[in-house]
Structure 1
Amino acid sequence: MPPTTDPDSPLPGNGRDTTGAPATSLRVSTAADVHRILSDLGSRSPKATAVILLALGGIFMDAYDFSSIAFGMPAITEQFGLTGFMTGLVNASIMIGAVVGALSGGYLVDRFGRYRLFMADMVFFVVAALGSALAPEAWSLIGFRFVMGIGVGLDIPVAMAFLAEFSRLRGKGNRSERVNSWSPAWYFATGTGYVIVLICFLLLPMDQQDHLWRIVVGFGAVPAVIVLLVRRRYMAESPQWLADQGDLRGAVDVLRSHYSIDAELVPSPEDQESRSSARTRLSTVLELFAPRYRLRTISALCVSVFSTFGYNAVAYGTPLIITTLFHQGPLVTIVSSLVINLGFGLAGGLLGMGVVSRFGSRKVTLVGFTIQAAALFTLAAIGVPSSALVLVAVAMLAAFIFAQAGGPGANLMNFATLSYPTRLRGIGVGFNQGTLRAFSVLSLLGFPILASSLGTGVFWIVACAPLLGAISLLLNPWDPTGKDVDGEDLGGTTTSGTTHVEAAPAR
């Protein structure tokens, strides 16, 4: 009987014993062998950790580019003489690009791999950030924001695939925790944007304040350039994707170089057959609605759509809400937005990472939706706040962001990413993100219009989104936390988090 590998034990499977000396190597004959090794051991080496951090760096850029323009919208509206519709279009252009990027990126990341698409994203970010910062008029800004959105749409499926496929199935640093880590990274980026806004606001002379948004938007090119400079040293293709494509040699090489796993390729007749079929296999969006995946896809879509409607209205609209609906000045708006995102958003995201393995994505998301609905109904009941009620209103915005970061906002990626095996992961995330961004466009276009006509009464409408999200989870029992979807797809089972991997004598 082959030896059993304990996920929390240094032996066997990492090619080292407890003293650091070479141990037995792990045989790899099929894609299922690669899956079992990764499920058990995940990422333990510095290079694998670096891949995770670079993937989160992509998420940082996504969030920064999405939110960096939010505070500058009043100045942009005045400078370019925008109507209400054009203001909404400037806001929504990045989302429209993200729809295109996500729908195409989901297919491309499964077809051509994670590494190539990730590198292409960085170029999009650099060009679009600098172009947006230098835009001379509204249509140029809309065009570059659209290009930026394509980059974001391409990046999300790539980053989620890296986070899932460079992590173990269960135990410390498992896939659910790693995928959930996108949420604190998102709010850290959003908060960083407001830190830059605050610094520039305090340092720039009053007659230069109109250029504040250009500085903040252009800064988005900096992290993308950094990633481009360090990519060759640390980035690598997903070994599970390589194995699914039939490139077992490439998968073994990555296991050795980025996981410090002493894997040995042992070709078999089944391997030759799998290589032939893997390269010709083409998954489609229709498979997401096959009987095995149908409820998972519906659940992921419900969480994403109902989560994004409220988030786009509240998070992207936070400066608009505080300035226009709460009648506060620019400094209060900046500081409040900073505290809400960097304080409550980051804290909620970290809390969500800590509890998702224990309680599961479904329960955590359900609690988050419930808190959000309560916060929005409270804001609707308060109306235009005065005196002490301003603090209550801002606290409700903070509660909404806290619940979003730890609940539906974090776990929508768990539902979209971990409900499908590697061969479907890019398409699954891409389709989910494309649908999500389409609804984001509607909310970004509609919220300014509704807010201008309904005032704080708009919160009665927005509150329906988390309420419907909670109802959808009560009706659908699917929870992706800890599910071995790759083992299921490859015909294997993993019931307790312990897998069996055949060892070969060390040479």
Structure 2
Amino acid sequence: MANNISVEDVPISRFHRLLTVRSGGGSFVDGYVLSIIGIAMTQVSPALGLSAFWEGLIAASALIGIFFGGFMGGALTDRFGRRRIYFVGPTLFVLCSVAQFWVQSGEMLFVLRFLTGIAVGIEYPVATAFLVEFMPKRSRGPCLATLTILWFAGAAMAYLAGGAILNLGGTDAWRWALASTAVIGALLFLVRLGTPESPRWLLSKGRAAEAEAIIRRVYGASFGLKNLSQQAESKKLSFLHLLHSGYGKRMAFVTIFWTCSVIPVFAVYAFAPKVLEALHLSGDWAAYGSIAITLLFVVGCVLATRMVNTLGRRKLLLHSFLWSGLALLLLGALRDGPSMVILILFGAYALFIGGAQVLQLVYPNEIFPTVIRAGAVGIGTSMSRIGAAVGTYLIPISLQSIGIGPTMYIAAAITLLGLLVSWFLAPETAARSLEDAASLDDESTPQTQHVSGSWSKHTG
């Protein structure tokens, strides 16, 4: 009987697949936005007369915006609901992208790219919270992991579309390239029309009647609040209260593992040709190597997505950090080795780090309750982008000042720090309900026992 089935145990439906497209579009735009500026910059710099300072600042502007947007998006999504904030990102994508077509200065371009970054930062908490709060238990991890693959798809589309526009559009083609994001933003806005509010968020605000109506609409007339594990209000619990109650350790875990997984990836992905050149690979080796590494990043994420349920979150994360860290260590030790060995080790890193990449959006959405879920994802997004910006900024300086060997050792140390933190703090959430995954009952300490009794009533 449907009356006895949890909404987390239902088969995946057309609604769930459409929701994955609706939420995944944000990750696709993220990859597109962060990549299109690099392609257009060859024409932007001479057209606007940019100095090296402004070139670097504009290149980093979206990352800076994501830092602020993550905090803002998380707080706004938890306070005002998932559905309202769902349309903020697409709206900003359209407005800022169209405005870039008429940009006349580096300062103006920086502001518009910064606002676009804020839109991307807002997307992470709202899109993933929507997805995890509707998705069946078995599909939750793979669907969240798919968003990482869509990031690479967006980046690939930027290279294809941007290259075509620059080749066909003349000296002002860069304006069309930067404005092209508006097309994706408009499509994202349209496809999200009709998305209902999250019943879990409504219930956390005491709006039980609205939550039940949406459950019936999505899952069928025989379903209701009785089929949702979350049963009570949680509006009296603040973010700071919950962190003090024991979720601070989980926030530290998410922030550290996410940051440790993105610093080497952003550095390697952004400067693959320069890194390969430092490893004595040039010409065709460097060109084909860069393409192969990009493809292996995607392959690694695809394989990890398939293993996120079977292997489990914790094991997948530990193996990902361990083997990718060892690959970086060997790259440092064998930096003067044969070209084929260098490419194999680089490829191994790209392949194995896929596990940590896909779990960046899975873990924070599963181990925090509804009332602070989006806020936790927002903080993780913002803090990890600091690491990404630092890694991207420092890699050319490091290659020039200390050389490729020590640079690879530093990258390996960061990766193995992620392994160490994950070993002590990473929980296993596969096959658990959203309520159980977010509960602290299995790790109670004297500090958290005073809330563990009531907590099971309002998590999930």
The interval holding the TM-score normalised by the smaller chain is 0.7 to 0.9
Aligned mate of 1:167, from 129, 135, 140: 135
Confirm whether residue 243 of structure 1 aligns to residue 212 of structure 2: no
Q: Unaligned regions of 5+ residues in structure 2, if any? A: 443-460
- Of residues 129-138 and 417-426 in structure 1, the stretch that sits farther from structure 2 once superposed is 129-138
Letter in 2 for 1:251: A
Contact 1:93 1:149 in 2 (8 A): yes
Give the deviation of 1:263 after TM superposition.
Answer: 2.4
Letter in 2 for 1:442: V
Residue 356 of structure 1 corresponds to: 308
Give the deviation of 1:51 after TM superposition.
Answer: 1.3
1:370 and 1:492 mapped to 2: Cα distance? 29
Residue 221 of structure 1 corresponds to: 182
Contact 1:67 1:316 in 2 (8 A): no
Deviation digits for residues 281-305 of structure 1, max 9, x if unmatched? 25214523422x2332222122111
Residue 424 of structure 1 corresponds to: 372
Contact 1:67 1:190 in 2 (8 A): yes
User: 1:28-427 maps to which residues of 2 (within 5 A)?
Assistant: 37-41=6-10, 44-73=12-41, 76=44, 85-132=53-100, 134-169=102-137, 171=138, 173=139, 175-200=140-165, 203-204=167-168, 208=170, 214-233=175-194, 235-260=195-220, 262-264=222-224, 278=234, 280-285=235-240, 287-291=242-246, 293-318=247-272, 321=275, 337-341=290-294, 343-381=295-333, 383=335, 389=339, 392-404=341-353, 406-427=354-375
Identify, as 1 or 2, the structure richer in helix. Answer: 2
Deviation digits for residues 150-183 of structure 1, max 9, x if unmatched? 10111100111122112122x3x2x222221222
Contact 2:40 2:178 in 1 (8 A): no
Does the residue aligned with 2:136 lie in a helix, a strand or coil? Answer: coil
Residue 5 of structure 1 corresponds to: none
Residue 452 of structure 2 corresponds to: none
Deviation digits for residues 247-270 of structure 1, max 9, x if unmatched? 22222222232333532579xxxx
- Of residues 479-488 and 235-244 in structure 1, the stretch that sits farther from structure 2 once superposed is 479-488
Give the deviation of 1:125 after TM superposition.
Answer: 1.4
Letter in 2 for 1:108: L
Larger radius of gyration: 1
Aligned-pair identity in percent equals: 26
1:471 and 1:322 mapped to 2: Cα distance? 28
Letter in 2 for 1:367: H
2:202 and 2:301 mapped to 1: Cα distance? 31
Q: Which has the higher contact order (CA 8 A, sep 6+)?
A: 1
Letter in 2 for 1:301: T
2:225 and 2:240 mapped to 1: Cα distance? 33
Letter in 2 for 1:192: M
1:105 and 1:127 mapped to 2: Cα distance? 18
Gap change, CA 1:185 and 1:107, over 3 Å in 2: same
Aligned mate of 1:456, from 387, 395, 404: 404
Gap change, CA 1:257 and 1:70, over 3 Å in 2: same
Contact 2:367 2:439 in 1 (8 A): no
Relative to the length of structure 1, the TM-score reads 0.76
Gap change, CA 1:166 and 1:359, over 3 Å in 2: same
Residue 458 of structure 2 corresponds to: none
Gap change, CA 1:137 and 1:334, over 3 Å in 2: farther
Aligned mate of 2:391, from 433, 439, 443: 443
- Of residues 115-124 and 372-381 in structure 1, the stretch that sits farther from structure 2 once superposed is 372-381
Relative to the length of structure 2, the TM-score reads 0.83
Deviation digits for residues 430-485 of structure 1, max 9, x if unmatched? 12112212222322333343344445343333232112111222233523333435
Give the deviation of 1:307 after TM superposition.
Answer: 0.9
Contact 1:88 1:444 in 2 (8 A): no
Does the residue aligned with 2:37 lie in a helix, a strand or coil? Answer: coil
Gap change, CA 1:382 and 1:350, over 3 Å in 2: same
Letter in 1 for 2:367: S
Aligned length: 438
Q: Unaligned regions of 5+ residues in structure 1, if any? A: 1-11, 14-24, 27-35, 494-507
Aligned mate of 1:484, from 433, 440, 443: 433
